[in-house]
Amino acid sequence: MLPPVAEQLEQIQHGTQEVLPLKELEAKLEASVKENRPLRIKMGFDPSAPDIHLGHAVGLRKLKTFQDLGHQIVLIVGDYTGMVGDPTGRKETRPRLTREQVDANAQTYLDQFFKVLDPDKCEVRRNGEWFGKMHFDEVMGLAARFTVARMLERDDFEKRYKAGEPISIHEFFYPIMQGYDSVVIKSDVELGGTEQKFNLLVGRTLQEAHSQPPQVILTLPILEGIDGVQRMSKSLGNYIGVTEAPRDMFGKVMSIPDNMIVRYFKLATTMHPKEVQEIEAKLKAGENPRHIKATLGKAIVAMYHDEEAAEQASEEFNRMFKGGQAPDDMPEFELEADGAGLWIIRAVTGAGLVKSNGEARRMIKQRAVRVDGE
Q: Which of 239, 253, 241, 263 is nearest to 295 (CA)?
A: 253
Q: Which of 87, 130, 78 is nearest to 105 (CA)?
A: 78
pLDDT digits (tens, 9 = 90+) for 239-286: 999 989 999 999 999 999 999 999 999 999 988 889 999 999 999 999
CB 283 within 8 A of CB 262: yes
What distances in angstroms separate CA 196 from CA 66, 67, 130, 257, 297, one per listed residue? 20, 22, 22, 27, 29
Q: Which of 168, 158, 173 is nearest to 206 (CA)?
A: 173
pLDDT digits (tens, 9 = 90+) for 30-61: 999 999 999 999 999 877 666 789 998 899 98
Q: How many alpha carbons fall within 13 Å on the CB side of residue 217?
A: 21
pLDDT digits (tens, 9 = 90+) for 184-200: 999 999 999 888 899 99
Domains of the chain in sequence order: 5-220 (3.40.50.620), 234-323 (1.10.240.10), 331-373 (no CATH)
- Mean pLDDT of the residues in the chain: 88
pLDDT grade for 204, boundaries at 50, 70 and 90 = very high
pLDDT digits (tens, 9 = 90+) for 126-143: 999 999 999 999 999 999
pLDDT digits (tens, 9 = 90+) for 317-354: 988 776 555 555 667 778 877 766 778 888 888 888 88
What angle in degrees, to the nearest 10, is found between the helix axes of 22-35 and 5-13?
A: 140
